[in-house]
Every structure is written in C-alpha cells, then in structure tokens.
Amino acid sequence: MTEPLIAIRDLHYTYLPGTPLQAVALRGASMEVYAGEIVGLIGPAGAGKSTLLQHCNGLLRPTEPGHVIVDGQDLADPTVDLRRLRQMVGIVFQHPERQLFETLVGDDIAFGPRQLGMSRAEIRRRVEWAMRVVGLDFDTFVDRPTAALSGGERRKVAIAGVLALRPRVLILDEASAGLDPLTREEWQEQVRRLNADEGMTVIVVSSDMEEIAALAGRVYVMAEGRMVDEGTPAEVFAHTDLLNSLGLGQPVTSWVLGELRRRGYDVDPYAIRLEETVEELCRILRS
Amino acid sequence: MDDILIRVEDLHFAYRAGEPDAVPALNGISLTIRRGEYVAIVGHNGSGKSTLARHFNALLLPTRGKVYVQDMDTSDPRHTLDIRRIVGMVFQDPDNQIVGTLVEEDVAFGPENLGVPQPALAQRVEKALQAVGLWELRHRPPHLLSGGQRQRVAIAGVLAMEPACLVLDEATSMLDPASRAEVLQVVRRLHTAGTTIIAITHFMEEAALAERIIVLAGGKIALEGSPQEVFSQRERLRELRLVPPTPAQLAEAVQARSGVAFSPLPLTREALVEAVHAHAVPLPAGGRP
C-alpha cells in the first residue's frame, strides 16, 4: 500500500484556548492526499478549511489530539525542518495579492528562490517559468511596479511567487477568485498540467463548484471542523440535500440535471462534465 | 436629458500620470448610465473595470476627459461630497469596509458623518438593515457574522447614505455560493425599488441578470448590449477573454447537437431547465417514462 503524502488524522484545533475569544476551528478532521492527486476541498465559510491547510506546511502546529503527517514526518515533532517542509508544500492563500511586498514584479517572484540561495541563472529560469505558468508575459511584466497592477495581475504574481519554489504539493486556497473567465480556464489548464507533467500534488479550495468539478479527482466536504462527505465530484455533487444544507450549491451541470430529474425526466444525476451533460439533455429532447 | 445619472466623456486615466513609468488604464471611454438602470461591467483582468468604477464617485479623477454625476463634474472638489452621497461603492472585501463594533453602529457611521440628526438617523439605519435582511442582527458585532452577512452589512452602510446608485465592485467574488445568492437577491430587490445598479463582476451568470452589459478590454469599451446580444457573440467574447455563462454554453452545445433551437438563448440555469423542459419529449402522465 502506498502511504498518503499528506495524512491528517482526527485533528483538533482551537484558536485562543482558555480565553473569552476561544474559537474551536477543527473538531476531529481527517484527510488523506496521495502523491499525484488533485483533491478538492469545499465547505461553507468558517468550516475550518484554511485552518486545516495551514497545518500542512507547519504554519499551525498540532497542539491538541490529532496528527498531521507529511511525507512520513509527524509535524507534532518539534525538530521538523520547517524550511524543507515549506519548500515542499506551497500554499497560495486567499487574497494572495496582499502577500506582495517588493516594488517590482520580478523581485517579488524571485524572493523565495533568493532566500534559498539559488544562483542568478537558476532564479531567472524559475521566475520565467513561474510567470509563463500563470500567464504573465516576462518582458512586459518583470520590471513593472507591483503598485500598478490590476487585482487579477497581482494575484498572478503572488501565485508565481509560490510556484517559483517548485513545491511538490501546491495548496490553492481560493486562489482563482477574481480571475476573469478565460484566465480562469487557462489557469485550470495550467493546474492540470502542473499535476500531469510536473507531478505536482494539488489541493484546491474553491467556492466555485464549477472549478472543483473541472479539476478535482476526489472531493472532501467540510463543515464545522470535520469532514462530512468524500468522493468523486460526481458522487459528492449528487448529494443535493447536504450541499444545500451547507449553502454550497452545485455546479450548473449537476444542478440542471437534478432539477430535470425532480420534474420526472430520466437523466443521469452523476453526469458532471459539460459533454456528458449535453448528451443527457439531448437524450430527452424531441429530435 | 434628466434621466441620465452618470455621463462619461472620452475618459482617459493613467496611474502615475505624467511620470516616466505611467501605466495607462483607461483609453477613451464614453458612456451614460440612466437612472434606475441595472448595468453589468465585465472584462478581462486589467481591462480597467475597477478603475472605471472608481471614477463614478470621484475616488479617481480623469487624467483627461470628463465624468459627470447628475451633471456635476467629478473633477470639481466642491461636488465631491454630493457625488459620494449619490453614488455609493461596495468593494470586494467586506472587512475593509466595516468600521463599527456593532452592526447598527457600522451602518450609522456614514449618515452620522453626513450630519443626519436623530430620529432620521435611526430611521435610515432601520430601513437599510431591513433592506438587506439584517435588522434582527443589529446588536451583533460584525466580525461574528458570516462573509455574506458582513457584505450585506457593508451594503447597508452604503444604503444608509440613501444613494441613487450602488456600484458593486466584485462585491460577491469572495463569498460562498449561498452568500452570493443572498447578496444578489438584495441587489435585485434594490433595483426593483428604483436604485441604479452598476455591477462589476467576473461571474457571467451574474452579469446575465443585468439589463445591459458593457464589456471592457484594454481600457476601452469593446462590446455593449443586452445579455442576449453580448453572450450570443461567442467568438468575439473569446477574443475579449470572456466566455458565456455555463448555462448558455450548454444550451449552444445542445442546439448544435440536437437541431433544437432555443429562442431566446437561455443564460441562467433556471432558464436552461425551462428551455429544455419546453422542448423535451412530454412525460407520460403520472411519472417517469
């Protein structure tokens, strides 16, 4: 049996324990991510998604019962090499544009590789590569002031900064919010390619169910600090009642087919990709 | 014409204008927004949407060209306060817009600063909180509310200024689907009640709710029309780095494959279900075929 690359077992976490502001964020969350997977994570605001993910590269350390094991290492161990861990697990947070701090685009993206003491040539190669992946033209943008970028461009720079470290695991926490539709399509294609060609393992958190349906091979549903559902996107998105009770909704494809089924049409509720859905819709039309 | 609320004439804007590293953002935009209209502004990242929106209430001033709000020139500082009372802005991140420690204090902040006296102030706050459906939560601290609720607090704060026009700059982009639906419902209700709505969005299903869509590209207007007109131009949209809403894409693919013609083209998921239902093989009475 292959071991999961990331295994989270019965993890609990409380912010500001023992104070009047104490807030329980995780109540026994478990998740396994295998090398080479794209795993989706969905859940309403406040479900604990970001808290969970911050455990994956040691930004938060287990303080209560539960384990976070990354590449065979239990992160509760105080001797964990955090520098190595953070090179291995890159996180693009919500509002990554707020993480920009250098004056020029190129310097911001090069920050991580510089910290790792890489050669100038290697740094340049990585910056060029990362900018190509996120779709920023090197010559146009490398010397542009970060202050003059649009919201979407700032987001791309922030993502490129994480990619330049070439992490084995890429965690995207609402990273595509605010991208225009075609950029979002291209970005999804790039994530697929990072996964297929570079072997990058990916965890995607998104409130855009279309994006989860398009990217993930497996989906976890989180609510109130623990997992409440897990399966392929087709399985998870067919659980209409659970999704509605959590305020998550469904991708357009699942929603339309579910609605037609409710009206008595015999369509496959597990169809989720656009082509499959088109086929299902054509089947019930008068030809 | 007095039903024109906002008039933009040959607007040019550059960040760091006049400096050697100036970055042009708007390159000659002319448009009018009529009172009571619901307009969506869409466009690729960096197309100038947010820059344009910030000209509607004098947060940014033209490098060249003019913006008039109710015939007041936004470049004239004597009009700035009046203009901001007429045009209210709601931004992407509710947490940057909330200042009060309780919901009702937050909503009262704007009108209080305008010098609205009691009891008119209390009435405005109540009306605004009722409009967004948060009156029951008025004594709660905003940070304990959900993202959708906080964004509705931000909208109420703007509504309490009684603006004629609400500009939503990607106001739903950080919200989960249920919260987004909540906010859109409030927006639709406000529009029905007469508020002019300008919605900047990346969600094409959301843009489809507007009466008119303006597509920006490279700081210029590239395409304009009803959602039906704009979203039926698939190739042109792709050049402009946009795609029609998913329901419209599904509908077009179904048309191409089945030979069935939907008219009009369904743009929302609800419309798609109705269109398919109307063209489907009728169900036998009493259940599934």
The two three-digit tokens of residue B174, written as one number:
């950080």
* A287 band by pLDDT with thresholds 50, 70 and 90: low
- Average the pLDDT over B271-280 and give the result: 95
* Cβ atoms within 10 Å, residue B268: 18
Alpha-carbon span A254 to A250, nearest angstrom: 6
Q: What mean pLDDT do residues B1-17 have?
A: 90
- More reliable by pLDDT, B41 or A21: B41
pLDDT band of B2, cuts 50, 70, 90: low
Whether the CB of A61 is below 8 Å from some CB of chain B: the reply is no
- ipTM associated with this complex: 0.81
For the cut 70, the answer to whether the pLDDT of residue B287 exceeds it is no
Q: Which residue has the tokens 């090197």?
A: A138
Q: Which residues of B touch A147 (CB under 8 A)?
A: 15
pLDDT of residue B285: 63
pLDDT per residue over A28-70, tens digit each? 999 999 999 999 999 988 899 989 999 999 999 888 889 999 9
- pLDDT > 70: what percent of chain A? 99
Residue A286 confidence (pLDDT): 78
Residues in chain B closer than 8 A to A264 (CB atoms): 283, 287-288
CB contact under 8 A, B21 and A94: no
Query: Shortest Cα distance from B233 to chain A (angstroms)?
Result: 15
Is B96 a residue whose pLDDT tops 90?
Answer: no
**Section B12-34 average pLDDT:** 92
Q: Closest chain A residue to B260 measured between Cα atoms? A: A287
State whether residue A44 is helix, strand or coil: coil
Q: Three-state DSSP class for A213?
A: helix
Which letter does DSSP use for residue B47 in this model?
S
Of chain B, the percentage scoring pLDDT greater than 70 comes to 98
Is A145 or B223 the better-scoring residue by pLDDT? B223
- pLDDT tens-digit map of A210-256: 999 999 999 999 999 999 999 999 999 999 999 999 988 899 999 99
**Confidence bin at A186 (pLDDT 50/70/90):** confident
pLDDT digits (tens, 9 = 90+) for B208-235: 999 999 999 999 999 999 999 999 998 9
**Spatial contact of B268 and B245, defined as CB atoms under 8 Å apart:** yes
Contact A273/B at CB under 8 A: no
Write down the pLDDT at residue A187: 85
Instruction: List chain B residues with CB under 8 Å of A173.
Output: none
Contact list, A156 vs chain B (CB under 8 Å): 45
Q: Which of A225-229, A250-254, B32-36, B109-113 has the lowest mean pLDDT?
A: B109-113
Q: Parallel, antiparallel, or unpaired for β B196-200 and B165-169?
A: parallel
Domains and CATH numbers, chain A: 6-250 (3.40.50.300), 251-287 (no CATH)
B146: pLDDT strictly greater than 80? no
Taking residues B78-103, what's their average pLDDT?
A: 87
Residue A1: band (very low, low, confident or very high) from pLDDT cuts 50, 70, 90? low
Query: Is residue A183 within 8 angstroms of chain B, CB to CB?
Result: yes
